[in-house]
């Protein structure tokens, strides 16, 4: 597996992966109307222009991705995803580290659902600490972590 910056031409494949990878989150939340499942190609192109999108590639196939964007002194990390067939192999951890390396900063921030215990475990094992929780919608509460 190799982690590298995504090219503009990779964005459609990453969006397809995103829709597949976030099905698990939608099932967990019992909500298939979550933003990662509704994101458009235009929106991901805007994110590409404003920050860094990394991809994990194995045998020529994108099997994971993460995004990072600097705002002031903080790098915001988001949409960390791994293809369901490749989970539990350390790819998410490797992508998270690669995002931090690609965007060096004194502070990193990310968020996930309070119900996403696997995500929270991964982030805490990577040195992130919870600093707040916030209701995002009825029945949806986010935990914010920083490093």
Cβ-contact 121, 114 below 8 angstroms? no
pLDDT tens digits, residue range 51-89?
A: 999 999 999 999 999 999 999 999 999 999 999 999 999
Average pLDDT of the residues in 15-31: 91
Read off the pTM.
0.93
Rounded to whole angstroms, the Cα distance separating 25 from 28 reads 5
Alpha-carbon torsion, ordered 125, 128, 130, 136, to 10 deg? -100
Q: How far is CA 4 from CA 1, 21, 54, in A?
A: 10, 19, 6
Q: HSE (CB half, 13 Å, CA atoms) of 128?
A: 26
Q: Which domains does the chain have, with CATH numbers?
A: 2-105 (3.40.630.30)
Return the higher-pLDDT residue of 29 and 124. 124
Question: DSSP assignment, residue 6?
Answer: P
Full DSSP string of 92-117: HHHHHHHHHHHS--S-EEEEEETT-H
Count other C-beta atoms under 10 Å from residue 139's C-beta.
10
CA angle (86, 121, 64) in 5-degree steps: 25
pLDDT tens digits, residue range 98-132?
A: 999 999 999 999 999 999 999 999 999 999 999 99
């Amino acid at each position: 597996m190799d982690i590298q910056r995504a090219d503009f031409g990779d964005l459609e494949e990453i969006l397809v992966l995103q829709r597949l990878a976030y099905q698990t989150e939608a099932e967990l939340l019992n909500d298939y109307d979550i933003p990662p499942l509704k994101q458009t190609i235009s929106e991901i192109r805007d994110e590409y222009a404003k920050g860094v999108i990394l991809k994990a590639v194995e045998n020529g196939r994108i099997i994971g991705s993460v995004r990072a964007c600097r705002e002031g002194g903080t790098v915001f990390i988001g949409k960390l995803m791994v293809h369901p067939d490749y989970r539990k192999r350390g790819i998410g951890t490797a992508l998270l580290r690669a995002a931090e390396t690609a965007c060096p900063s004194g502070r990193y921030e990310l968020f996930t659902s309070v119900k996403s215990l696997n995500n929270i475990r991964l982030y805490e094992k990577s040195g992130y600490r919870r600093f707040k929780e916030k209701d995002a919608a009825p029945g949806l509460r986010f935990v914010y972590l920083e490093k």
